[in-house]
A and B are shown apart, each in its own frame.
Chain A
Amino acid sequence: MTNLTLAIPSKGRLMEQTTDMFARAGLVVRKVGHVRGYRGEIEGLPGIDVAYVSSGEIAEALKSGSVHLGITGEDLIRENISDAATRIRFLQKLGFGFADVVVAVPACWLDVTTVAELEEIALPFRRQHGRWPRVATKYINLTRRFFGSKGFGDYRIIESAGATEGAPSSGMAELIVDITTTGETLRANGLKILDDGVILKSQANLFATNAAAWTPDLEALRAELSDRLANSIPSKATVR
C-alpha cells in the first residue's frame, strides 16, 4: 500500500506553529534518519510520510500531485495555482499563520484612499513621470487578478523578492501589494492600506491535491488525520 504524503513547512514560524498544532492534538512529528534531513513521520499514525518542504514549494507540490496533503498559507496557494478551486481541496483552516494580502500606498497620499482614486492618479502620474505607477510585489497573480476585477490596468508590476515595504521610500516603486498581520511594518515604512485594498484574508490551511490518485485507504488516513487535528484548532479559525 502507498503511504499518504503530507508536506509541512520546513522552517520559520509556520513550521513551529505546525509542530505546536500537532503537539496539541497529541501527535509528535519526528524526523526520520538524519536530523538535517527532510523526511519525517507522525508517531501513532503509521502510513503517513511527512515531507519538510519550504512553504512556497508546498503549493507547487500540491499542484503537481507529488504530495497528497500540505499545510501552507492560502495566499501561496492562490498566488501559485490560478485554478486552485479545481486542483486543490481546502480541507481545514488551521487558526494560525494569519496574514492579509493588501494594497498599500504611501500614507502621505492623502488623496488616495480607494482603488478608484488610485486609478485617478495613474494618468497624471504618467504625464509627469513618463510611466505608469509601479507596484512592487511577490504576489504577481493575486495583484493582476484583483486590479483586473476592478477594471484597473494602468500600472506596472515590479517583482520583489523581499523587503517589499521599503520599495516606495527607496523609489523602486510607488505602491506595494504585500502581506501584513498587524499593519505595524507598513506603518513603520510610511504606508497605509487602501480602504478597499484587502485582496485576501489568509491563514494556514490543510490542503489536499486533486492531482494525485486517492484510494479508499488514503482517504481513510486523511480523514483520521483531519479528525485528530480538528480538536487542536482554535475556534476562531473558522470564524475568520
Chain B
Amino acid sequence: MTAETVQNLEVLAAQAQTLMSVFTKAGYDAVAPAIIQPADVFLDVIGENLRARTYVFTDQDGAELCLRPDITVPTCRLHLERHADPMTPARYCYNGPAFRFQPQGATAAHPREFRQAGIERFGDKSREAAEAETVSVILKGIEKVGFKDWTLKLGDLGLFSSVLDAAGLSPNWKKRLDDAFLRPLSFREALKGFATGVRGASSGVPDEVLSAMRRDDREASEAAVAVYLEEEAIELIGTRTLSDITEHLIGIAEDRKEKPLDNRAIDLIARYVGVSGSAITAGEKISALIKSAPNGSGYALETYDRRLALLANAGIDLDRVTFAAEFGRTLAYYTGFVFEVSAPSLDPKSPLAGGGRYDGLMRAAGSGADVPAVGAAIHSERLLAATGGKSP
C-alpha cells in the first residue's frame, strides 16, 4: 500500500505542506477534525451505499462510531461547533487520512487508507465566484506541487432543473424527473415508462382507495384510508402515521391523472443528458436547446457563462475544460456545481481531485437549514503518483 515506505511518507508530508501553504495563503484556516466520528451523521447523510464502504464500529460503551470516509462532513460538524449561526462565512483547509473499505480489495489507486488535502467554504452569497475560486485554489495547489498536465471536467446538477423549467412541465412531472435524474441506474427506464404517464401500471395500490383521495380535503382522504384499513382488518403499525400514508396516496392519485409526458419534452431531456465535450461548445449547445424549448429562458446559462468567465479570469485555460451533463449524478451529496481534476497518466476513474457545491449537507449535520457550501479535496497518493513520486 502507498505510504508504507518511509520515503513516501516524507514525500507525502512535503507535498501536504506545499498544498496547505497554498490553501492558508488563499485565506483558509487550517483545521484538524477528529478521525473517529459519530457514525450517525455520516450514515444519515450518505445512505446505505457508502455505508457499505465505511468502517463502522461499536465502542466499549456501545456508541456507534466510524473512521471518517471523507473530511468534508467532519469539517461541517467543526463549523457548527465553532459558530452558533451556521451562516457565518468561514473557510477551512485540512490534510489527513480518510478510510474506505474497498470491496475489490485495496490497491494503489484505491487504498483503504488515503490522505486528503482539501478546502471547504461556507456561507458565501456570491455562488459562482465561490465555485470558481475553489477550482482555482485546487489547481494552484496541484501546480505548486509540480503537476501541470491536468484536465478539468465540470458538471452542474442544477442545470437539469432549468432544462425541465424550459420544457414547461407540470410541477409533478418536474419533481419526478428531478428525483429520477439523481438515480442514473433507473433513469432511462423511468424516462421510457414516463412516456405513458407519471406512474406506469406497476402500482398495486387499491383503486377504491385512490379514487377517494382529494388534495383539497385531507380529512375525508384520511378517513377513507382509515375505513379501508378497518374493513380489511389491517392494523396501523410502525412509525409512519395515517397522515404520512394519506399524503403519499394523494400524490399517487394525482400521478394517475397526470397527462403523459409529451415527446418534445422527452426529446429535450434525452438531448440534454447527452451533452458532453468542451465546456465552451457544451454551453452553446445547452443554450440552443433551452432557447428552442417552449418556456425557454436564459437564466441558468447566465450562471454557467459567469462561472466560465470567472475561471478564465483566474487564469484557467478553458481549452482544457470539459463539461458533461451527466457528470455528478452518482456523487454522494452534491447539489449543484461539481468538478473533477484528472491526470492523463491515471485511470479516469481515479481523479486527482474533486469537489463541488453541497448546500444540503450542513442541514444533515444538524444546522437546521441549508447553508451555502463549496469544497474540494485532493487525493494525495494519486497526486504523488501523477508527479512520478518525486518531491516538488
A contact residues around B6 at 8 Å (CB): none
Q: Mark A136-171, 1 if CB is under 8 A from B, else 0.
A: 000000001001101101111100000000001101
Q: How far is the CA of A91 from the CA of B43 in the complex (A)?
A: 39
Interface size class of B (residues with CB under 8 A): 35 or more
Whole-angstrom distance between the alpha carbons of A130 and B205 in the complex?
Answer: 27
9-residue interface stretch from A13-21, A69-77, A107-115, A202-210: A107-115
**Total number of A residues with any Cβ neighbor in B under 8 Å:** 40
One of B17-25, B127-135, B234-242, B306-314 contacting the partner: B234-242
Once bound together, how far apart are the Cα atoms of A109 and B229, in whole Å? 10
Chain A residue with the shortest CB-CB distance to B232? A107
Which of A30-38, A116-124, A213-221 is near enough to bind chain B?
A116-124
**Contacts A114-B202, A156-B51 known; A108 to B245 CB distance under 8 Å?**
yes
Question: Nearest chain A CB to B233's CB is how many angstroms away?
Answer: 10
A113-B204, A114-B204, A124-B247 known; A108+B236 contact, CB < 8 A = yes
- The answer to whether the Cβ of B52 comes within 8 Å of any Cβ in the partner chain is yes
Tell me how far the C-beta of A185 lies from the nearest C-beta in chain B, rounded to whole angstroms.
Answer: 15
Q: Say yes or no: is B47 at the interface (Cβ < 8 Å to chain A).
A: yes
B48 touching A144, Cβ below 8 Å: yes
A110-B206, A113-B203 known; A169-B47 Cβ under 8 A: no
Which residues of chain B are within 8 angstroms of A154 by Cβ–Cβ distance? 47-48
Residues of B within 8 A of A227 (CB): none
Q: Looking at the complex, which one of B204, B239, B244 makes contact with A124 (CB distance below 8 Å)?
A: B244
* B248 A156 Cβ-Cβ under 8 A: no
Cβ–Cβ contact B244 & A128, under 8 A:
yes
Compute how far the CA of A108 lies from the CA of B234 in the bound complex, rounded to whole angstroms.
6
Q: Are B238 and A168 in contact (CB under 8 A)?
A: yes
Is the C-beta of B186 less than 8 angstroms from some C-beta in chain A?
yes
| Residues of chain A with a CB closer than 8 A to B44's CB | 126, 130-132, 156
Q: Which residues of A contact B184 (CB under 8 A)?
A: 151
Q: How far is the CB of B224 from chain A (nearest CB, A)?
A: 10
Q: How far is the CA of A108 from the CA of B246 in the complex (A)?
A: 11
Among B48, B179, B202, B237, the residue within 8 A (CB) of A153 is B48
Q: Is the pair B203, A108 in contact by a Cβ cutoff of 8 Å?
A: no
Is A150 within 8 A of B185, CB to CB? yes
Cα–Cα, bound, A203→B179 (Å): 38
B225 at the interface (CB under 8 A from A): yes
B360–chain A nearest beta-carbon distance, Å: 11
**Known contacts A108-B235, A108-B237, A125-B240; A157 and B186 CB within 8 A of each other:** no
Mask of A94-118 contacts with B, CB within 8 angstroms, 1/0 = 0000000000001111111110110
Within 8 A of A (CB), among B161-191: 179, 183-186
- Min CB distance B367 to A, Å, is 13
Q: How far is it, in angstroms, between the C-alpha of A169 and the C-alpha of B237 when the chains are bound? A: 5
- B48 touching A157 by the CB < 8 A rule? yes
Bound-state Cα–Cα, A195 to B203, Å: 9
Contact B225–A109 (Cβ < 8 Å):
no
User: Quick one: given A124-B244, A129-B239, A148-B49, are A111 and B249 in contact (CB under 8 Å)?
Assistant: yes
Would B47 and A111 count as touching, CB distance under 8 A? no
Q: Are A155 and B47 in contact (CB under 8 A)?
A: yes
B214-243 contact mask (Cβ, 8 Å, vs A): 1 or 0: 000000000001001100001111111000
Residue A190 lies at the interface, judged by CB distance under 8 Å to chain B: yes
A174 within 8 A of B: yes
Q: Check if B289 is an interface residue, CB within 8 A of chain A.
A: no
In the complex, chain A residues whose CB is within 8 Å of the CB of B205? 110-111, 113
Contact check, B203 vs A190: say whether CB atoms are below 8 A apart.
no
B291 CB, nearest partner CB in chain A, Å: 32
Q: What separation, in Å, do the CA atoms of A67 and B184 have in the docked complex? A: 43
Cβ distance B109 to chain A, nearest Cβ, rounded Å: 21
State whether the Cβ of B35 lies closer than 8 Å to any Cβ in chain A: no
In the complex, which of the residues B179, B229, B239, B245 contacts A174, with contact meaning CB atoms closer than 8 Å?
A: B239
Contacts of A128 in B (CB 8 A): 244
| A residues adjacent to B (C-beta < 8 A) | 82, 106-114, 116-117, 119-121, 123-126, 128-132, 144, 147-148, 150-151, 153-157, 168-169, 171, 174, 190, 195
Interfacial residues, chain B to chain A (CB-CB below 8 A): 43-44, 47-49, 51-52, 103, 179, 183-186, 202-206, 209, 225, 228-229, 234-240, 244-245, 247-249, 251-252
Since A125-B240, A144-B49 are in contact, a sample of 7 more A-B pairs with Cβ atoms closer than 8 Å, ordered by chain A residue number, is A110-B209, A110-B229, A112-B248, A113-B205, A117-B203, A144-B52, A169-B237
Q: Could you list some 16 contacts between A and B, CB below 8 A?
A: A106-B238, A108-B229, A109-B245, A113-B203, A114-B203, A121-B244, A121-B248, A124-B247, A125-B244, A132-B47, A144-B52, A148-B49, A151-B184, A157-B51, A171-B239, A190-B235
The 9 closest A-B pairs by CB, nearest first: A151-B185, A113-B204, A153-B49, A153-B47, A111-B248, A169-B237, A106-B238, A168-B238, A151-B183
